[in-house]
């Protein structure tokens, strides 16, 4: 009897990813859940060799530390097949008994319909934390089922706009990239800049008209490109002769005429340097492969789709009809031009075949969801991607996000042009955090201890970090209200509060006058007090949290963890005396481990931690 394994889809969102066959992970590699899952797999094979199922291991704060929930699903598969098991509980008992011996598990018990409760061994937890302190937090990286991913994020449009939506895409995409990178995935950070399209005809002609010696002038002379865009659009809309020239201009650009290519490049360069002002402040790295990069691939890709019978003619355009959608996906416009969809199909082809990415992730507002759904389906029809139900790779995902709202509850709008305004917004976050810091330091008489450089760096870390955290802490699909007051408050779930929490731990360690670098080599961690144990268990969950955030593409999971960790630390610190207690060494090491994990969370969120505040 061999039953399909797809029947166990319970708890899907957080299902444990098992490394691909053939590559046995080293003992101790991966998250705690992944390590327990390996023990559970071997027990399942011994318990019910006739059925193959995925191990289901979850955190269980209520009954034990972790829980294995395979018994009921297995029961529903084997009951009535002549099995000797009488009920799910009996299967649970057998799973518990067949777990290979390991120093991870202290004890197990079976509850109700076969839940196997697993209590971790204190000494193993303590050792895992100490090993991390000695060998670095990278040893806690989860194992993800892919080696290379493309993350397509930020992706503003040349000369047109870089608005709050692009800011969100930049922040969310960068965080996802950091999480995958931490998990040892090779990430291609792609800026899919909108650098091609009919608007370039009018932009170029307007450039020629306004600046006859355009080759010599610098970007400052042209000024803000968005204003330039509006002016050229105005010209286009009101002057038929200009419009005609602009339309010719597109053709000449696409035909590769030297002068037009050069002007196009100039305009792109100016935009790029504007975007870079934002990237620099946010400390975000991206590699630009704009829409134009994929132009040469479009004809070939469309020919392939056509040969597979996917492309049809409809009202003069070339389209792909997709089941479930009223309107087809247009891939060649009526005027013969290519569009957003044909570019995206070609980019996907390139990412799969040339870049050999296994997971391709697109970060844009939810408004573009349908576009992504449709072209992902087209790619599946072409046989480029497996059926999503098969849970195989390569795979594409659209990471959608909601709107940023202003204090009036309406879409966050900016008065001046968007790029300039985004830069101003970030600068305002910094200057606000600086004046608050100055005020507090002056009140406490501490201002004398701070150098100007420290002040500057701290207000940047706190200010930019606050903007990022306010964006990331919510489930990305929900809209959120942009408020400096809220994000810069030192109370509640804010980056400022967390920066304080981290700085406080650093100060506890500093004031102990002990060298933790030395202690971690010579001392030992012990988790006898209940609050020590709770903190220790939560610390070692870090890898699972990153795994979950990557699997479900949800950065807020890490924010939640970071916030809870700081709360748990407070509880520990309130109930367990650190300095001067008999357990001082162990507890200082727990302080240090908490600080290290917090800093790693900050790193994943793109926030620079501060050590004193
Ligand atoms: N430039 C687009 C916009 O501003 C976003 C591009 C997203 N990436 C993609 N491959 N379609 O809306």
Q: Whose CA is nearest to atom 3 of ligand 1?
A: 156
Question: Measured between alpha carbons, how far is 145 from 332 in angstroms, rounded to an integer?
Answer: 36
| 152 CB within 6 A, ligand 1 | yes
pLDDT range class, residue 573, cuts 50, 70, 90: very high
pLDDT of residue 224: 79
Mean pLDDT of 358-379: 97
Q: Please give the structure tokens belonging to residue 105.
A: 């598990």
Q: In terms of domains, do 240 and 307 share one?
A: no
Q: In terms of domains, do 182 and 206 share one?
A: no
Q: Whose CA is nearest to atom 9 of ligand 1?
A: 192
Instruction: Estimate the crossing angle of helix 542-551 against helix 530-540, to 10 degrees.
Output: 40
Q: In terms of domains, do 484 and 588 share one?
A: yes
Q: In terms of domains, do 183 and 204 share one?
A: no
pLDDT in tens, 329-367: 999 999 888 999 999 999 999 999 999 999 999 999 999
Question: Measured between alpha carbons, how far is 168 from 153 in angstroms, rounded to an integer?
Answer: 9
pLDDT of residue 226: 82
pLDDT in tens, 428-472: 999 999 999 999 999 999 999 999 999 999 999 999 999 999 999
Q: In terms of domains, do 600 and 585 share one?
A: yes
Longest dimension (CA), the chain: 89
Do residues 586 and 522 touch, judged by C-beta distance below 8 A?
no
Question: Measured between alpha carbons, how far is 425 from 468 in angstroms, rounded to an integer?
Answer: 12
Question: Measured between alpha carbons, how far is 108 from 120 in angstroms, rounded to an integer?
Answer: 9
Q: In terms of domains, do 172 and 207 share one?
A: no
| 541 CB within 6 A, ligand 1 | no
pLDDT range class, residue 320, cuts 50, 70, 90: very high
pLDDT of residue 416: 59
User: Which residue in 192, 155, 193, 153 sits closest to 176, CA to CA?
Assistant: 153
Residue where a domain stops, chosen among 73, 105, 120: 120
pLDDT in tens, 517-558: 999 999 999 999 999 999 999 999 999 999 999 999 999 999
pLDDT of residue 391: 83
Within a domain: residue 592? yes
pLDDT in tens, 231-267: 999 999 999 999 999 999 999 998 899 999 999 999 9
For the chain, percent of residues with pLDDT exceeding 70:
95
Within a domain: residue 280? no
State yes or no: pLDDT of 8 exceeds 50.
no
Q: In terms of domains, do 183 and 213 share one?
A: no
Within a domain: residue 312? yes
Within a domain: residue 136? no
Residue in the block written with tokens 């000369």? 159
| 344 CB within 6 A, ligand 1 | yes
State which ligand 1 atom lies nearest to the alpha carbon of 365. 12
pLDDT of residue 417: 64
pLDDT of residue 220: 75
End-to-end CA distance of the chain: 64
- CATH number, domain with residue 18: 3.30.1360.70
Neighbours of 97 (CB within 10 A): 13
Cβ neighbourhood burial of 162 (10 Å; 0-12, 13-18, 19+) = buried
**DSSP at 18:** P
Q: In terms of domains, do 302 and 185 share one?
A: yes
pLDDT in tens, 115-133: 999 999 999 999 999 999 9
Q: Total structural domains in the chain?
A: 4
Which whole-number Å values give the CA distances from 146 to 180, 305, 354, 429, in the listed order? Answer: 10, 27, 16, 37
Q: Above 0.90 for ipTM, yes or no?
A: yes
Mean pLDDT score across all residues of the chain: 92
Please give the radius of gyration of the chain, using alpha carbons only, rounded to the nearest integer.
Answer: 28
Within a domain: residue 448? no
Q: In terms of domains, do 42 and 23 share one?
A: yes
Within a domain: residue 457? no
pLDDT of residue 384: 98
Q: Which residues neighbour 467 within 8 Å (Cβ) at sequence distance 6 or greater?
A: 171, 425, 426, 429, 487
State yes or no: pLDDT of 4 exceeds 80.
no
State which ligand 1 atom lies nearest to the alpha carbon of 344. 10
User: Which residue in 216, 215, 232, 218 sits closest to 158, CA to CA?
Assistant: 232
Is the omega angle on the peptide bond into residue 394 within 30 degrees of 0, that is, cis?
yes
Cβ neighbourhood burial of 340 (10 Å; 0-12, 13-18, 19+) = middle
| 155 CB within 6 A, ligand 1 | yes
Within a domain: residue 129? no
Residue where a domain stops, chosen among 245, 271, 297: 271
Q: In terms of domains, do 189 and 204 share one?
A: no
State yes or no: pLDDT of 607 exceeds 70.
yes
- CATH number, domain with residue 358: 3.40.50.620
Q: In terms of domains, do 203 and 190 share one?
A: no
Phi, psi of 136 (to 5 degrees): 100, 155
Number of helices and strands in the chain (H, E): 22, 14
Q: Please give the structure tokens belonging to residue 6.
A: 């797809």
pLDDT in tens, 473-507: 999 999 999 999 999 999 999 999 999 999 999 99
State which ligand 1 atom lies nearest to the alpha carbon of 194. 1
Within a domain: residue 203? yes
Q: Please give the structure tokens belonging to residue 345.
A: 């199909």
State which ligand 1 atom lies nearest to the alpha carbon of 161. 4
Q: Across-strand partners of 280? A: none
pLDDT of residue 421: 84
Edge-to-edge strands, sheet with 287-288: 287-288, 186-191, 148-152, 359-365, 395-401
Mean pLDDT of 38-44: 96
| 197 CB within 6 A, ligand 1 | no
Residue 364 alpha carbon to ligand 1 centre in Å = 7
Residue 245 alpha carbon to ligand 1 centre in Å = 28
Q: In terms of domains, do 331 and 227 share one?
A: no
Residue where a domain stops, chosen among 238, 271, 304: 271
Residue 152 alpha carbon to ligand 1 centre in Å = 8
Q: Which domain holds residue 255?
A: 199-271
State yes or no: pLDDT of 2 exceeds 50.
no
Question: Measured between alpha carbons, how far is 294 from 230 in angstroms, rounded to an integer?
Answer: 27
């Amino acid at each position: 009897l061999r039953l399909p394994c797809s029947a166990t889809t319970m708890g899907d969102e957080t299902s444990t990813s098992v490394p691909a066959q053939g590559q046995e992970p080293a003992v101790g590699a991966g998250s705690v859940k992944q390590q327990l899952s390996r023990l559970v797999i071997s027990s399942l094979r011994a318990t019910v060799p006739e059925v193959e199922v995925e191990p289901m291991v979850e955190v269980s704060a209520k009954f034990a530390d972790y829980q294995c929930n395979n018994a009921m699903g297995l029961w529903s598969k084997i009951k009535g097949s002549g099995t000797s098991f009488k009920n799910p509980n009996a299967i649970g008992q057998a799973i518990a008994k067949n777990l290979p011996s390991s120093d991870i598990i202290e004890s197990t018990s079976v509850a109700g319909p076969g839940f196997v409760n697993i209590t971790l061994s204190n000494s193993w937890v303590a050792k895992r934390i100490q090993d991390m302190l000695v060998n670095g937090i990278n040893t806690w990286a989860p194992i993800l089922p892919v080696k290379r991913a493309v993350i397509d994020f930020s992706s503003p449009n040349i000369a047109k706009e870089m608005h709050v939506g692009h800011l969100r895409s930049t922040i969310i995409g960068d965080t996802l990239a950091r999480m995958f990178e931490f998990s040892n995935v090779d990430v291609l950070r792609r800026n899919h800049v909108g650098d091609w399209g009919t608007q370039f005809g009018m932009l170029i002609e307007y450039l020629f008209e306004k600046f006859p010696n355009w080759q010599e002038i610098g970007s400052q002379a042209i000024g803000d490109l968005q204003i330039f865009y509006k002016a050229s659009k105005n010209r286009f809309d009101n002057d038929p002769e200009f419009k005609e020239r602009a339309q010719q201009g597109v053709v000449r650009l696409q035909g590769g005429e030297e002068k037009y290519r050069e002007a196009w490049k100039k305009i792109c360069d100016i935009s790029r340097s504007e975007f870079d002002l934002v990237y620099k402040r946010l400390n975000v790295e991206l590699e630009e492969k704009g829409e134009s990069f994929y132009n040469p691939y479009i004809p070939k890709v469309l020919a392939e789709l056509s040969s597979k019978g996917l492309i049809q003619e409809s009202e003069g355009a070339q389209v792909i009809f997709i089941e479930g959608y009223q309107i087809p996906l247009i891939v060649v416009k009526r005027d013969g031009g290519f569009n957003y969809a044909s570019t995206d199909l070609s980019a996907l082809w390139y990412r799969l075949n040339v870049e050999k990415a296994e997971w391709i992730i697109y970060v844009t507002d939810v408004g573009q969801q349908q576009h992504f759904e449709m072209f992902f389906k087209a790619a599946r029809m072409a046989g480029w991607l497996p059926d999503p139900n098969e849970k195989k790779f390569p795979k594409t995902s659209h990471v959608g996000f909601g709107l940023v709202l202003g204090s009036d509850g309406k879409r966050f709008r900016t008065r001046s042009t968007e790029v300039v305004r985004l830069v101003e917004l970030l600068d305002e976050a910094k200057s606000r955090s600086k004046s608050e810091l100055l005020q507090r330091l002056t009140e406490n008489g501490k201002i004398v201890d701070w150098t100007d450089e420290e002040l500057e760096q701290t207000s940047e870390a706190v200010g930019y970090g606050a903007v990022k955290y306010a964006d990331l802490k919510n489930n990305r699909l929900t809209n959120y209200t942009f408020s400096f007051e809220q994000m810069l408050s030192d109370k509640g779930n804010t980056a400022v509060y967390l920066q304080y929490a981290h700085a406080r731990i650093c100060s506890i360690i500093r004031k102990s006058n002990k060298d933790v670098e030395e202690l971690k080599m010579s001392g030992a961690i012990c988790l006898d007090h209940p609050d020590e144990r709770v903190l220790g268990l939560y610390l070692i969950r870090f890898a699972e949290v990153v795994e979950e955030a990557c699997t479900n593409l949800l950065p807020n999971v890490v924010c939640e963890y970071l916030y809870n960790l700081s709360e748990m630390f407070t509880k520990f610190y309130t109930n367990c005396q650190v300095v001067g207690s008999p357990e001082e060494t162990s507890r200082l090491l727990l302080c240090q481990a908490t600080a290290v994990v917090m800093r790693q969370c900050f790193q994943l969120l793109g926030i620079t931690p501060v050590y004193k505040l």
